[in-house]
Amino acid sequence: MYNLAELSSADKMKEECGVFGIFSKSEKKDLSLLTYFGLYALQHRGQESAGIAVCDEVDVAVHKGMGLVSEAFKSEDLQKLTGNISIGHVRYSTTGSSLITNAQPLVARYLGGPIALAHNGNLVNTDKLRSELEQKGTVFLTTIDSEVIINLIAQQVDKATLEDGVIECMSKIEGAYALVIMTRDKLIGVRDPHGIRPLCLGQMSDGSYVLSSETCGLDVVGAKLVRDVAPGEVVVINKDGYKVISTVSPRRASCVFEYIYFARPDSTIDGINVHLARQRMGEVLAKEYPVEADIVVPVPDSGISAAMGFSHATGIPYENGLMKNRYVGRTFIQPKQELREFAVKLKLNPIREVVEGKRVVLIDDSIVRGTTSGKIVNLLREAGAKEVHMYITSPPIAHPCFYGIDTSIRKELIASDHTVEEIRQYIQADSLCYLSNEGLLKAVGLEENQLCLACFNNSYPVKASESVGVDKYILEARREKSE
């Protein structure tokens, strides 16, 4: 069976994961429900599975399920999860298959008691670390890198505190990670030394502290932003409040695609509002490539903010020329090649009365393989568009990502070995314009040395071999080889 959402978004970078956590000084009857709401707000970061773990100062209870948050939990599931500390996770698999055994949070029990962990990101030295742990007798139940992290922490039982064990673990793992960790009496947030993946701290009116991948997760539970967790920081929350432990940060390298595509527009990451950043991308793009056109049309939803900025900068009217079917996500179709051609049409439908006879500027965030972009251009032409000019709010993606984004191997990225003109011809647009690297930096408002731009310029903050990106099922391959 084919996942229609995957077929219709094959030209998009896949979201990574979302993490969420709450610490309350006393037991909250609605703790699991609040965590559920937080995960709902972070649903865009992962749609394969969801899970919540809650601690009642004695033990940890966990419930996980496949699919969307609303599919993974029933009311009775949440009612069974009671306590004063909780963590949650929504997943898109970047290491390991989409299976319930690989769903998070992960729960383990060691000499220090129960521990639960949820992870957003991807390690680049997973295989090496797992081999070392297996040689010491560690038994693994999943094929995800997060289990390597929880085992490394659990092994540090001789450390004075759990946070000392976390810091020791950080010295061994390499790659991108935003972690929420829960024990009987603590909630811990961790952000990797480069700050590749986002994490923030908030506080509710009753004093409860909240950790979330994005501020939209804070907003939905009524928490106010206290601060972003800085690169290399460990935030430890207990009944006395919170403390911050700083570790070495070589240089900040936040993923620029959080601003371009991944994060929700209403989120603010490291002090930068995502909607406004995307709006500026559209404005800068308009200045870099003037065009004569009748309407500006976004590819929903990630192109909306940028299209608004483009329209404002040029005076060309903004129109909703493409309607998105928001109920496609979990639909499956039979594995017949001819049915694949309907995938884009089922997800996006042009409004003929809006685009017919018009010169259209089509705004999208990126082109990965070029397949879907060409189909969208063709949809507009079939609806009567006179011209279709494709404007992209990022530079060409020519290199794979190893840090929690499921991009293809380099040879499948259309910009890796094709010129802009060749890509234009392939997608059959009248013109194709990419936002420049300088324009992107101006729009986001950060310096080049503060962002990870590796998918554009091949400059990786944490080195990794291409095999890391080629096979996210590497741990399953190792398991099959050993059996």
pLDDT digits (tens, 9 = 90+) for 203-235: 999 999 999 999 999 999 999 999 999 999 999
**pLDDT (0 to 100) of residue 15:** 54
pLDDT digits (tens, 9 = 90+) for 319-349: 999 999 877 653 333 334 455 556 677 789 9
Among left, alpha and beta (phi > 0; psi -120 to 50; other), residue 113 is left
Task: Say if residue 105's pLDDT is above 70.
Answer: yes
Mean pLDDT lowest among 20-29, 75-84, 252-261, 268-277: 20-29
Q: Which DSSP category does 415 fall into? A: G
CB atoms within 10 A of CB 255: 29
Strand partners, 61: 54
User: Helices 145-154 and 126-135: crossing angle, nearest 10°?
Assistant: 50
- Could you write out the DSSP letters of every residue in 339-393? HHTTHHHHHEEE-HHHHTT-EEEEEES--SSSHHHHHHHHHHHHTT-SEEEEEES
Which residues of the chain form CATH 3.60.20.10?
8-252
Instruction: Assess contact for 361 and 391: CB atoms under 8 A.
Output: yes
CB atoms within 10 A of CB 442: 16
Strands (E), 1-159: 2-3, 17-28, 49-55, 60-66, 83-91, 106-110, 113-123
pLDDT digits (tens, 9 = 90+) for 384-417: 999 999 999 999 999 998 887 766 578 789 999 9
Tell me which residues are annotated as active site: 17
CA angle 334, 335, 337 (to 5 degrees): 115
d(CA 35, CA 221): 8
CA angle 310, 316, 321 (to 5 degrees): 85
Instruction: Assess contact for 391 and 366: CB atoms under 8 A.
Output: no
CB atoms within 10 A of CB 338: 7
Instruction: Assess contact for 342 and 334: CB atoms under 8 A.
Output: no
Where b means 16+ CB within 10 Å and e means fewer, 375-386 reads: bbbbbbbebebe
The kind and range of the H/E element at 126 are helix 126-135
What is the share, in percent, of the chain residues with pLDDT greater than 70?
A: 87
Give 14 or 430, the one with higher predicted confidence.
430
Task: Say if residue 180's pLDDT is above 70.
Answer: yes
Torsions phi, psi of 109, nearest 5? Answer: -130, 125
Q: Average the pLDDT over 439-462 and give the result.
A: 96
Mean pLDDT lowest among 180-194, 376-390, 396-410: 396-410
d(CA 321, CA 285): 20
Q: Average the pLDDT over 46-75 and give the result.
A: 94
Task: Say if residue 478's pLDDT is above 50.
Answer: no
When mean pLDDT is compared over 90-99, 115-124, 342-351, the highest value belongs to: 115-124
Strands (E), 82-205: 83-91, 106-110, 113-123, 175-182, 187-191, 200-203
d(CA 131, CA 143): 12
Write the class of the CATH domain 272-466. Answer: alpha beta
Q: Which DSSP category does 177 fall into? A: E
d(CA 404, CA 199): 14
When mean pLDDT is compared over 100-104, 140-144, 411-415, 434-438, the highest value belongs to: 434-438
d(CA 188, CA 244): 10
What is the CATH topology of the domain spanning 8-252? Glutamine Phosphoribosylpyrophosphate, subunit 1, domain 1 (3.60.20)
pLDDT digits (tens, 9 = 90+) for 130-179: 999 999 888 888 888 899 999 999 888 777 789 999 999 999 999 999 99
Instruction: Assess contact for 282 and 305: CB atoms under 8 A.
Output: yes
**pLDDT (0 to 100) of residue 5:** 44
Q: Which DSSP category does 162 fall into? A: H
Q: Average the pLDDT over 293-301 and give the result.
A: 96
Instruction: Assess contact for 303 and 261: CB atoms under 8 A.
Output: no
d(CA 73, CA 71): 6
**pLDDT (0 to 100) of residue 28:** 82
Q: Average the pLDDT over 301-322 and give the result.
A: 97
Torsions phi, psi of 273, nearest 5? Answer: -75, 130
d(CA 319, CA 308): 9
Which residues of the chain form CATH 3.40.50.2020?
272-466
Give 120 or 406, the one with higher predicted confidence.
120
What is the share, in percent, of the chain residues with pLDDT greater than 90?
A: 73
Average pLDDT for the chain:
89
CA angle 244, 21, 219 (to 5 degrees): 95
d(CA 16, CA 470): 16
d(CA 392, CA 376): 14
Q: What share of the chain is helix, strand, coil (3-state, %, to 5)?
A: 35, 25, 40
